[in-house]
Amino acid sequence: MSDKLPYKVAAWGRKALDIAENKMPGLMRIWERYSASKPLNGARIPGCLQRSVETAVLMSLITLGAEVQWSSCNIFSTQDHAAAAIAKAGMPGRAKQTRSTCGTGDLTNLIHTEYPQLLLSLRGISKETTIGVHNLYKMMANGILKVPAIDVNDSATKSKFDNLYGCGIKQATDLMIAGKIAVVAGYGDVGKSCAQALRDFRASVIITKTDPIKVLQAAMEGYEVTTMDEARQEGDVFVTTTGCVDIILGQHFEQTKDDTIVCNTGYFDVEMDVKWLNKNTVEKVNVKLQVDPYRQKNGRGIILLAEGRLVNLACAMGHPSFVRSNSFTSQVMAQIELWTHPDKYPVGVHFLPKKLDESVAEAHLGKLNMKLTKLTEKQAHPDHYRY
């Protein structure tokens, strides 16, 4: 039985990969375009990213000539059947559900601090998470960054798709959201996505935010905006999306309604004080993986999802394949740029060239049966614009 089980898991993963590939037209277009020329021939690419079905498709970078090794970046985000399929295909990596060795930005920090000798042969880094990119800019400002880096996170084909259409918070509890009051902390792209999804499920949505411009945007969209100190007693569901620390504290947990659901879709588990919750709980029961009801000393219940970690990957299956195709195709283009044009990118943080960003978007249009209007030569000439 023990010999057969890994094969069955890998076979399941391979079937899931087949479905995902059909839903990731941008990545598949890259393979078609470059499979013969293999522009990454000779490159060795270590990666630190969720080991999901979609990531497994990304790891097919090896077909472009690269030698790839991957680790997971979140202890709950690994989909074991996908990891097994990758391993069976001969791609080395370290990933298992509930285990992880790296986090976003940590691989970059690890190389810079503990393995600086590797920097001599490192042509560059590409990042696609907000926190990971913030880390790059911080390193650059402090004079620590020693290699070029491409900020994929702020490419239009990442931020305007991955962040907006990747919210997944309903699957874990099967909660009837209609009629509930949902509190969303943050109103960036991810916060806007969560707020819209919750409103589409017919919840009343309250926003908390520190940026007055974003607060005004939320108000213009018809959301109530207040502070967490006031919202704590109103919400049935709380979602943090800020990437910042100390959003939901012990004083907030104590005043919530009974059996309030709390989750985080920012990247790290720093947005809510889970340590306080563990210290001030008389009972904690695990219902199923990543769903933990707590009973506080005051008798009120809190249902915490994913231990305060990234909920859409821990309690659901992460972003849809088509959404991930956009950001992952941008990642591949960034890697090709860094490997084939090293002279174009000095030490610092760079953006993916707009032309490449547009090509990533265009690679997805056919799957949607969308037809792109082309400018005529006259239209494209700036002298013909009237102001």
| DSSP H or E run through 312 | helix 311-314
Which residues share a beta bridge with 350? 150
Best CA proximity match to 294, nearest among 286, 283, 305? 283
Instruction: Indicate whether 113 and 14 sit together in one domain.
Output: yes
Model pLDDT, residue 99: 55
Instruction: Indicate whether 182 and 299 sit together in one domain.
Output: yes
Residue at which a domain ends, from 315, 336, 359? 315
Instruction: Indicate whether 185 and 270 sit together in one domain.
Output: yes
Instruction: Indicate whether 157 and 184 sit together in one domain.
Output: no
Distance separating alpha carbons of residues 139 and 349, to the nearest angstrom: 10
Instruction: Pinpoint the alpha helices (H) of 142-246.
Output: 156-159, 189-200, 212-220, 228-231
Distance separating alpha carbons of residues 141 and 146, to the nearest angstrom: 12
Asked, for residue 73, whether it belongs to a domain, the answer is: yes
Domain tally, the chain:
2
Asked, for residue 377, whether it belongs to a domain, the answer is: no
CA dihedral in degrees (77, 83, 86, 92; nearest 10)? 90
Instruction: Indicate whether 251 and 362 sit together in one domain.
Output: no
- Residue 18's CATH number: 3.40.50.1480
Asked, for residue 383, whether it belongs to a domain, the answer is: no
Instruction: Indicate whether 138 and 256 sit together in one domain.
Output: no
Asked, for residue 362, whether it belongs to a domain, the answer is: yes
What are the helix and strand counts (H, E) for the chain? 16, 14
Instruction: Indicate whether 141 and 154 sit together in one domain.
Output: yes
Asked, for residue 378, whether it belongs to a domain, the answer is: no
Distance separating alpha carbons of residues 308 and 103, to the nearest angstrom: 15
Best CA proximity match to 305, nearest among 292, 319, 318, 288? 292
Asked, for residue 376, whether it belongs to a domain, the answer is: no
Instruction: Indicate whether 91 and 155 sit together in one domain.
Output: yes
Model pLDDT, residue 254: 94
Q: Which residue stretches of the chain have pLDDT < 50?
A: 1-5, 103
Model pLDDT, residue 2: 44
Residue at which a domain ends, from 284, 315, 346? 315
Instruction: Indicate whether 28 and 65 sit together in one domain.
Output: yes
Instruction: Indicate whether 240 and 343 sit together in one domain.
Output: no
Residue 327 and residue 158 in contact, taking contact as beta carbons nearer than 8 Å = yes
Residue at which a domain ends, from 271, 290, 315? 315
Distance separating alpha carbons of residues 132 and 122, to the nearest angstrom: 18
Phi, psi of 90 (to 5 degrees): 90, 15
Instruction: Indicate whether 127 and 203 sit together in one domain.
Output: no
Residues annotated in a binding site: 312, 319
- Residue 297's CATH number: 3.40.50.720
Domain span at 111: 7-161+319-367
Asked, for residue 299, whether it belongs to a domain, the answer is: yes
Sheet with 93-94, strands from edge to edge, namely: 44-48, 67-71, 93-94
Model pLDDT, residue 95: 56
Instruction: Indicate whether 21 and 66 sit together in one domain.
Output: yes
Residues annotated in a binding site for NAD(+): 312, 319
Neighbours of 37 (CB within 10 A): 10
Neighbours of 164 (CB within 10 A): 14
Distance separating alpha carbons of residues 262 and 237, to the nearest angstrom: 6
Asked, for residue 172, whether it belongs to a domain, the answer is: yes
Best CA proximity match to 64, nearest among 87, 25, 32, 21? 32
Length of the chain: 387
Best CA proximity match to 298, nearest among 256, 354, 263, 343? 256
Sheet with 181-185, strands from edge to edge, namely: 224-225, 204-208, 181-185, 237-240, 260-264, 301-305, 291-296, 281-284
